[in-house]
Amino acid sequence: MVLAVACLAGLYWGFQRHSAIARGGYWLAKTHSLAEAPAPVPEFAASDEQIRAVQERWRDFEQKTHADQPAEIELTADDLNSLIAVNRYLRGKTYVSIDGNRLRLQASIPLREYVGRSGYYFNGDITIQSDAVASLANPRFESITINGQPLPRGILDWTYRSRRLGEYLAEYRSDYDVGRIEIRDEKLIVRSGAH
């Protein structure tokens, strides 16, 4: 009886303090995003010149945002894949494509690199569709799906370490001064908060 009460208390505490982990784990298992084998991800070969050009544009965007100047950057799928190509954690594991106002991210990431657990992969085919400009303070995307399943409603209200996921997103927005994002005309458009 004591063990049952302790288990229930532990579950309650876990859902209150770390609900994002419990709910996220359950949801990822339900959508078959966690697997024992990697999923195929399209390869992207970027030239050194292509990589340098997009890195230079990104650095210029960052410098303007850190100086509280209005800044905007438009990134095509090739630009995003070029940035991924120089990231040793994502290279060969992530691929982006954009069709109109729909951004698709294909990923197969070994979890051992992030949680120390080998033998499992996050295999996601993530689609984000946007019909308007969205703020990271209050993101409003028409739909976000992972492996064909819509993202649960209220996900930004889930908690991790007693903080809502929305608070972490707002913190990221503040740290990088990203004000608004838009997916339009086969581009991801990022504007600074000063814009």
pLDDT exceeds cutoff 80 at 2: no
pLDDT bin (cut points 50, 70, 90) of residue 136 is low
Is residue 152 scored above 90 in pLDDT? no
Domain ranges in the chain are 2-192
Question: What is the band of 26 on the pLDDT scale with cuts at 50, 70, 90?
Answer: confident
Average pLDDT over residues 22-27: 70
Q: If 0-12 CB within 10 Å is exposed, 13-18 middle and 19+ buried, where does residue 91 land? A: middle
* Per-residue pLDDT, 4: 57
Q: How far apart are CA 109 and CA 86, in angstroms?
A: 16
Mean pLDDT of 94-114: 86
pLDDT(16) > 80: no
Residue 149 pLDDT level (bands cut at 50, 70, 90): confident
67, 69, 70, 91: which is closest to 81 by C-alpha? 91
CA distance 192 to 195: 5
Question: pLDDT (tens digit, 9 = 90+) per residue, 41-96?
Answer: 999 998 999 999 999 999 999 899 888 888 899 999 999 999 999 998 889 999 99
pLDDT above 90 coverage of the chain, percent: 24
More confident residue, 29 or 92: 92
DSSP 70-132: --EEEE-HHHHHHHHHT-TTTTTTEEEEEETTEEEEEEEEETHHHHS-TT-EEEEEEEEE-SS
- Mean residue pLDDT of the chain comes to 78
Range of lowest pLDDT (13-22, 104-113, 148-157):
13-22
Q: pLDDT digit string (tens) for 32-44? A: 777 888 889 999 9
